[in-house]
Amino acid sequence: MQVTRELFNDVMVPNYAPSAVIPVKGEGSRVWDQNGKEFIDFAGGIAVNCLGHCHPALVNALKEQGEKIWHLSNVMTNEPALRLAKKLVDATFAEKVYFANSGAEANEAALKLARRVALDNHGAEKSQIIAFNKAFHGRTFFTVTVGGQAAYSDGFGPKPGDIDHVDYNDLAAFEALISDKTCAVMIEPLQGEGGIISPTNEFMQGVRDLCTKHNAVLIFDEVQTGVGRTGDLYAYQGLNVTPDILTTAKALGGGFPIAAMLTSTEIAKHLKIGTHGSTYGGNALACAVAEAAFDTVNTDEVLAGVTEREQMFREGFDAINAKYNVFSEVRGKGLLLGAVLNKDYEGRAKDFLVASAEHGLMSLVAGVNVIRFTPSLVIPLEDVKEGLARFEKAVAQIVNA
């Protein structure tokens, strides 16, 4: 069978609009399409491929586990799941782990758990969930409603109730909204889809203190920021603010679908037998690959390398901007970076993405004004240099058009 982009239109639901490029091979931070064209990958599958493509540690784990056991229902447990859970507990604030398949599922579990904790401890009146405008927490109906972007949640009928939103980094507005009726606050420790927006230290500490004051569960959505993306294993560790529940996915499996919800024993006890579950959550194959990814990332060398690469990217963007004057600022931390277009190029982030692809570079957007970069945490320095050179060609193409 000949596979073409046109086949997508014939057989796939039209909720995506993929480019004409169909990648067929990847190695490290290089990708090749059906025609043999090479790309440097500054996108990482949207912050998923934390070790690039076909990393030997992940390939070996997949092969080894693939010859042992793939899947068991949660009527039984398995060795890779227990090993991975122990490593997550040892490396974080958490004492208990729940495995799922995607960030949305981990967030769904976190929100259900928070509601159950409030119901058990305080009664039905304590049900309010507070989240933040421009947030993104997944595509289930519950998580997309908690995410503060109406464009994603409108048009599907009545939404889950008792969910309110305030602006990120607006501590006064948050303080005015939270009360003893608030059961949970869900927040990204660095907003991704919303435009790569970092929190102020005052804001994050204030959110933590107010959640404690009102007995509200603080949930950190670290689906995009987790597993080394910001230069810390998890972003909360660099903020010195500890959540009650943390969700992690994307980079956790290095490209293999897996997610986890992390929390304390005291909170976890409210998910009694039968209250929540997942057919594939904790799948042996996924956990074996994730364990290999986690072991590789959770080293001083790799985490320090993220900061080194961040500096290289920032210097590269500064040099490009000195020539072409297209960015108002570069936001983010570690290898979750956003180049914000200035007024002369407002609304044209996708144009830069398309031009980048023409010059052999894979990039992303975060809204219409921000070009987003989430490369491999171990991208070779020569690939950073070459990718920035290709990006400069794309910028020049648009500026000189």
pLDDT in tens, 77-110: 999 999 999 999 999 999 999 999 999 999 999 9
Going by pLDDT thresholds of 50, 70 and 90, the confidence category of residue 53 is very high
Are the C-beta atoms of 72 and 284 separated by less than 8 Å?
A: yes
Residue 223 is assigned to a ligand binding site: yes
Token pair, residue 382, equals 């020569």
**Which stretch of 191-195, 240-244, 386-390 has the lowest confidence by average pLDDT?**
191-195
pLDDT of residue 194: 87
Residue 232 is assigned to a ligand binding site: no
Boundaries of every domain in the chain: 5-54+300-399, 57-297
Question: Which of the residues 136, 203, 327, 373 is marked catalytic?
Answer: 136
Stretch 198-222: mean pLDDT:
98
Going by pLDDT thresholds of 50, 70 and 90, the confidence category of residue 62 is very high
Q: Burial letters for 350-377: b for 16+ Cβ neighbours within 10 Å, e otherwise?
A: ebbbebbbebbbbbbbbbebbbbbbbbb
Residue 279 is assigned to a ligand binding site: yes
Residue 372 is assigned to a ligand binding site: no
Tell me the CATH number of domain 57-297, given options 3.30.420.40, 1.10.3720.10, 2.40.30.10, 3.40.640.10: 3.40.640.10
Catalytic residue status for 327 = no
Express as a percent the part of the chain with pLDDT over 90. Answer: 98
Question: Which of the residues 126, 134, 250, 333 is marked catalytic?
Answer: 250
Catalytic residue status for 250 = yes
Question: Which of the residues 41, 221, 232, 351 is marked catalytic?
Answer: 221
304-314: pLDDT as tens digits: 999 999 999 99
Residue 139 is assigned to a ligand binding site: yes
Going by pLDDT thresholds of 50, 70 and 90, the confidence category of residue 193 is confident
Going by pLDDT thresholds of 50, 70 and 90, the confidence category of residue 401 is confident
148 pLDDT more than 90: no
Tell me the CATH number of domain 5-54+300-399, given options 3.30.565.10, 3.60.130.10, 1.10.10.10, 3.90.1150.10: 3.90.1150.10
